[in-house]
Amino acid sequence: MKKKLIQHTTAFFEKTFQKAPEHIFLSPGRINIIGEHVDYNDGFVLPAAINKYICFAVSKNATTECAIIAKDLNEAYKFDLNHDLKPIDKMWVNYVLGVLHQLKSKGLQQGVNIVFSSTIPMGAGLSSSAALECGIGYIMNKLFDLGLSKEEIALIGQKSEHTFVGVNCGIMDQFASVFGKKNHVIKLDCNTLEYEYHKADFKKYSLLLLDSCVKHTHLTSGYNDRRNEVEQGLAIIKTHFPEVKTFRDCTEIMLLGLKEELGEILYKRCRFVVKEIKRVQDAVKALSNDDFVQLGKLMTETHHGLSKEYEVSCEELDFLVDAVANETPVIGARMMGGGFGGCSINLVEKGSEKELIEKISEQYRTTFGIELKAYKVKISKGTTEYK
């Protein structure tokens, strides 16, 4: 799959620019085992890069112009780095421009020709956008010696999303895409950006993604709304408990005492965050002890929190999680990522996948008239040059 992706991206570059690309880069999508909607709440997350990539075929050109071609969309965008870079009405272009806009102030002056193509399904919650942002940042840093650290590349990707795309996302997706390590999950402290790798050996279990193939349009506004709600909630908590600096210092008991003042919505949102931060820590312990049943249980708890308290799930995702609840080979399931569509992540007994996929696909088709997609993913390394 990776080889094929590289081959056809390279071939398209050659056809377009009449010359082989000088470099090939791969930037991966990500999964997240647990720790959802807590990256922007100073929590911990447990993501990993996966073997689905954006492949970039790249050459420097001796001008200040950039030609970026999105092969899968059959679209090209050309611009001059000397011009003021501003968001346009094409989303994929904005991910790129948002990064380049920042890199200009870090010394980027010279143009490139890029063709990119992807095996990361778009809108499936696997962070194809972070892969694109980080891929562009990584490439420019490498080609033009901009001296950026991996952390800076991730932060630039995140800022691009804030400023050029309008999603106030946290740092998880970009961090996972850049820092991914084969067969390891990353425990990231989103407050300090300290991180550690944990072996992702699920023994007799494997990770299975079920793609709802829906993407509800309120993703951006829904996401930003949640951010505003928890910010309001935290401000109220702080007035009563000055020792609370972030959600990490907050307990369920504190929240209970403020239930009335917070009101139903903010109370629910904050409660989810406090519990989710704790769950990730418990999940890391479970993972270290090879206690996969416990890990799975925590994942399923997360789903119910996301669905009922944080309210970022949707009918289709709830269906997918409920549908596997009584399937013995499935020991944990939850919606993954920002929500309002995309994939569920399932911890399932190896060997049970095929039958399970058939069964759930049938039920999903009957209920929603939608063809389910399933992905068995491997945990792989972060953004890199392919040689």
Just list the catalytic residues. Answer: 173
In the bound state with ligand GLA, the residue whose beta carbon lies nearer, of 305 and 329, is 305
Cα separations (Å) of 127 from 28, 119, 150, 184? Answer: 8, 12, 17, 18
DSSP label of 308? I
* Residue 113 or 177 with smaller CB distance to ligand GLA: 177
Least Å distance, CB 127 to ligand GLA, is 6
Question: Considering the complex, what minimum distance in angstroms separates the CB of residue 40 from ligand GLA?
Answer: 6
Instruction: List the one residue out of 164, 161, 166 whose CA is nearest residue 175.
Output: 161
Q: What would the DSSP string read from start to end of 99-156? A: HHHHHHTTT----EEEEEEE-SPTTSSS-HHHHHHHHHHHHHHHHHT----HHHHHHH
Closest CA to 310 of 246, 266, 247: 266
Closer residue to ligand GLA in complex, CB, 58/172: 172
Q: How far apart are CA 347 and CA 368, in angstroms?
A: 24
Which of helix, strand or coil describes residue 26? strand
* Torsion angles phi and psi, residue 152, rounded to 5: -65, -40
Q: At closest approach, how far in Å is the CB of 47 from ligand GLA?
A: 9
* Dihedrals phi, psi of 347, to nearest 5 degrees: -100, 115
| Structure tokens that stand for 227 in this block | 């951010």
71/269 with CB nearer ligand GLA: 269
3-state secondary structure of 300: helix
CB of 195 to ligand GLA, least distance (A): 15
**Among 258, 266, 328, 332, residue whose Cα is nearest residue 302:** 332
Q: Footprint of ligand GLA on this chain (CB under 6 A)?
A: 36-37, 39-40, 127, 169-170, 172-173, 337-338
Q: Of 196, 138, 172, 175, give the one whose Cα is nearest residue 384.
A: 138
Positive or negative, the CA dihedral 206, 210, 211, 216 is negative
Residue type at 259 in one-letter notation: K
Q: How far apart are CA 356 and CA 347, in angstroms?
A: 12
Q: How far is the CB of 253 from ligand GLA (least distance, A)?
A: 25
Q: Please state whether beta strands 205-215 and 330-335 pair in parallel, antiparallel, or not at all (unpaired).
A: unpaired
Q: State the DSSP string of 59-87.
A: EE-SSSEEEEEEGGGTEEEEEETTSPP--
> Shortest Cβ distance from residue 134 to ligand GLA (Å)?
12
Q: How far is CA 61 from CA 95, 100, 111, 114, 143, in A?
A: 21, 16, 6, 10, 11
